[in-house]
Structure 1
Amino acid sequence: MLIIGIVIAIILMICINVPIAIALAVGGIIGLLGYEGWGSLVTIALDMYDGATKFSLIAIPMFVLAGAIMNAGGVTDRLINFVSALIGFVRGGLAMVNIGVSLFFAEISGSAVADVAAMGSVLIPQMKKRGYSGPLAAAVTSSSASLAIIIPPSIPMILYATSAGTSVEQLFVAGIIPGLLGAAGLMFVAYIFARRYDLPTEEAFNVARLRETFWDALPAFSLPVIILGGIFGGFVTATEAAGLAVLAAFVVGLWYNQLDLRHLRRSMLDGGMQTAVVMLLVAASVVMGGFLTRAQLPQDLAQGILDLTSNKWMILLILNIFFLIIGFFLHSAAAIILVVPIVIPLINAAGIDPIHFGLVVTLNLAIGQQTPPVASVLITACAVARANIWAVSKVNIWFVLVLLAVLMMCTYIPAIPMFLVHYFYG
C-alpha cells in the first residue's frame, strides 16, 4: 500500500507542475521514512551528492558545451554547405541536407534538443522559402534531431549506462548502425514527400563545389574523428573524449575565426540549465533507488513478469510497449533514471544483454521525443517553425514510423546493434 500511495503522490505532484526531480526525491524520502524511520535519512545528502558526481556523468556537460562551441564557431554553416554540395541535387535536397547535417551534429552534441535548436533556426526558414510547408519543415527537423540520441555520443546512453552499471563505450558502438539506418529511412520518406509536393533540388552536382566545401569543412570533420576514434580505439574513455571534444571544438572555432561570443554565452547558459536539470534528476533518483531497493520492487516486478512468461522476446515486447507509453509523458532523462533501475533485474533474469536493451530503450525514448503531450524535441521544432503541433504531428507520423521500424529491427534482430560491439569487444 505504501508503494501505491507514493506512486499516486508522485503522479499528483507532476500533474500540478512540481518538477519531476523534486517529486521523485519527496516520494523516496516518504518511502524511506515508512520503511526504516528517521534514521534512514542521516546520509541522504551524501548519497545524493555521490550519485550526481559519478565520473561518467561529467561527459554530459562537456558534450553539451562542445555542441554550443561548434554552433557558435561557424562549424554548423560549413557542415550545411558541404552536405548541400553532396546531396543537394536530389529532389527535396534541403530536407536531405537537414537530415545529413543532423547526423554530423549528433556526433558532437549528444542532445536532440540542442540539435533541433541549432539546425532548426538555420534550416527551417530556408526550407519554408523553398516551398516546404511549415509542418513538413518542422517534422523533418524534429525527427532527424532524434538521431542525436541514437548516434554516439548520446546523453541518454550515458545516463542508461550509469543507471544499469554497464559500458558507455559499448553502448556508443551499438548505436552506430541503427543511427545510420534511421537516417537512411528518414531520407527515403523525405524524398517521397518531395516527389509528392514537387519540391525543388538545391543545386546541380558539381565536383569542384564539393571539393571546395569539403576542404572548408575538413577541420569540422576532425571532431567526430577525435571523439569516436578516441573511444573506439581504446585511447580514451567517453568522459575523457567529451573533454577532448570541447578542446577540439574551441580550436576549430578559432581556426575559422568566427566565434560568436554572445551566441556562445547564450548556448552555454542553456546547456548549463539542461545539465543542472539532469543532475538534479540523478541525485533524486538515488533517494528513490534507496527506497525501491529496500521495498524489493525491482525483484518483485521481475518475478511477476517471469511468472507470466520466460520468453525473452515476449519480455522485450512488453518492455517496448511500456517504454513507448512512458515516452509519451516523461523526458528521456527522467524515464531512464526512474524506470531503468526497476527493470534491470528483469533483464538480467531473462538473459537479455544489457547493451542490447540499452539501445532498445534509447530508440523508444527517441520516439517519445516525437509524440505529444511531452515531445520536447517536437515542441522545440514547432516553436522554431511557428507551426501548430498537431499539424506537424500529422506529417511527422511518417517519420516516426521509420524510427519505429528501426526499433523493431534492433529489438528482434540483435545482430544489427550488436555486430560492431562483438567485432570491437568480442
Structure 2
Amino acid sequence: MPIAVAIAGSTTLAVGASGIFGIEVVPQQIFNALNSFPLMAIPFFILAGHLMQVGGISERLIRFGNALIGHMTGGLAMAAVLTSMFFAAISGSGAATVAAIGSILIPAMLARGYDRGFTAANQSVAGALGVIIPPSIPLILYAVAANVSAGDMFLAGVFPGVLITLSLLIMAYVVSRKRRYAGLERVGGRELFTAFRKSILALLMPVIVLGGIYGGVFTPTEAAVVAVVYSVLVGFVYRQLSLRKLVDAFADSAVTSAIVMIVIGAAGLFAFYINVLGAPAQLAEAMTSLNLGIVGFVILANVILLIAGMFIEAAAAILIFVPILLPMATAFGMDPVHFGIIMVVNLAIGLVTPPVGLNLFVAADLTKLSMGRISKAVLPFIGVLLVDLALVSALPQLSLWLPSLVSTAG
C-alpha cells in the first residue's frame, strides 16, 4: 500500500487501541502537520520546477553543459551530472531532475555507445542532487520539522552539493576513460558564449531566490512564489510556454503536491503519537547509556537513515526521524543545521538504493532496463556517495561555513 496509507492507517489503529485520545485526534493532527506557513513553499517550488521543465529550460541547460565539458572523455556522462546540478537548483526534486535531463541525455549517451546500465546509474545518481542543491523540498521539510531557518538550510546545502557534484564528475570521467567513451567535438569560444547566453535566465533563478532571501527582500515561502512568476516569464521569453503547457504544468504540480502533502500529514500524525508515547526521550536515554559519544552516534544515525531511505520516501523519513534523532544530536552538541544536511544527504542516497529508490524507477523507464540491472550498475556510485556522506558528517564547516558567513555579514 502507499506509504501515506501505511503510516496513517497504522497510527490510527494505535490511537484507537491506546485509549489515550479520541479518534478525532487523527484529522486534527494531520491538519496541524500541514498548517504551516513555510510548507506553502513546497507546492510553489514544485510548480516552478514543472514550469521550468515545459518552458524549454532543460534543453538550454543541457546545451550549456555539453558546450562546457562535452568535449572531454565521457563528456556526455559528465554533462549529465553538471546539467543535473544546474537543474537541481531549479526543481528541488530528484525524480524531476532525472526525468527532465535524462529524457534528453540518456538517448544521446546510448546513441554514442555508452553502456545502458552505466547510463541509467549515472543519471539516477546525478538526479539525487535535486534534493541537496537548494532550493530543495527536503531541506524545507527539515527546516519546518526542526524549527530552523529554511534559508540557513539552503545555504548549508550549497557546498555539500558541490562536493557531491565534483565526486560524481570524477566518477563519470574515470569510468568513461576506462571504457573509452569519446567526448563530443570541442566547441569554440563563440559557441560556448552563445550556449551560456541562452541559459543565463535559468542560471539566474537560484541567484534570485537565495539573494532575495538573504537580502531581506522576501521570505523562503515568498521566494517560492517569486520562482513561479519568474518561471512563467522565462517560459514566455523562450517562447516555449503555451497556455496548454501552462495548464498541464498546474495540473501535474497539483497531483505532485497532493502526494507530498498527504505523506507529510500522515508522518505528522505518526510523529505526534510517538512523542506522546515518549519514544524520543526513551531512545535518547538509551543512546546516552551506551556511551557511544558523538562519533558513535553519528555513525549509528547514518546507518539508521540509510536503511530508512531504502524503504521510506524522503518526506516521510524526515518527519518521522527528526523528532527521534534531532534531540539526541543536539544533546551531543551537534548543530541542527549540520545534522539536517547529514539527514538529507542520507535520504538522497536513498533515492538510488533499491528496493524503493525512486530515481532508479524513473531511469529504468527511460532506459527500458530491469531494476536488477540498474541496481547492480549503481553500486559503485553509491560507494562514492558514502564517501561524500562521511566527509559531510565529519566536517561540520562544510555545511555551516556559508550560513555563518552570511549571518556575520548581516
Fold conserved between structures, TM > 0.5: yes
Show the counterpart of 1:50. 32
Distance 2:144 2:17 in 1: 27
Fraction of identical pairs, as percent: 38
Show the counterpart of 1:167. 149
Q: Answer with 212-221 or 129-138: which moved more.
A: 212-221
Distance 1:215 1:243 in 2: 25
Measured against aligned partners, the alpha-carbon deviations of 1:122-158 in whole angstroms (never above 9, x if no partner) come to 1111111111121111111111010111110111111
- The structural deviation recorded for 1:115 is 0.7
Of 334, 345, 350, 1:363 maps to 345
> 2:7 aligned with 1:24, yes or no?
yes
> 2:23 aligned with 1:41, yes or no?
yes
Distance 1:232 1:261 in 2: 34
> 2:169 aligned with 1:187, yes or no?
yes
Show the counterpart of 1:12. none
Show the counterpart of 1:134. 116
Contact conserved, 2:94 with 2:130, CA < 8 A, in 1? yes
Are residues 324 and 43 of structure 1, via their aligned partners in 2, closer, same or farther at CA, if it must alter by over 3 Å?
A: closer
Q: Secondary structure at the match of 1:131?
A: coil
Show the counterpart of 2:272. 290
Of 382, 390, 394, 2:376 maps to 394
Show the counterpart of 1:244. 226
Distance 2:107 2:324 in 1: 43
Distance 1:393 1:40 in 2: 45
Q: Which amino acid aligns with 2:385?
A: L
Distance 1:180 1:151 in 2: 8
Distance 1:225 1:85 in 2: 22
Show the counterpart of 2:67. 85
Of 54, 68, 78, 1:72 maps to 54
- The structural deviation recorded for 1:198 is 1.4
Q: Which amino acid aligns with 2:14?
A: G
Show the counterpart of 2:316. 334
> 2:127 aligned with 1:145, yes or no?
yes
Matches within 5 A, 1:285-324: 285-309=267-291, 311-324=293-306
Distance 2:244 2:79 in 1: 27
Distance 1:133 1:369 in 2: 21
Are residues 34 and 348 of structure 1, via their aligned partners in 2, closer, same or farther at CA, if it must alter by over 3 Å?
A: farther
Show the counterpart of 1:419. 401
Q: Secondary structure at the match of 2:331?
A: helix
Are residues 262 and 372 of structure 1, via their aligned partners in 2, closer, same or farther at CA, if it must alter by over 3 Å?
A: farther
Structure 1 residue runs of 5 or longer lacking an equivalent are 1-16
- The structural deviation recorded for 1:265 is 4.2
Distance 2:319 2:284 in 1: 18
Are residues 328 and 89 of structure 1, via their aligned partners in 2, closer, same or farther at CA, if it must alter by over 3 Å?
A: same
- The structural deviation recorded for 1:103 is 0.7
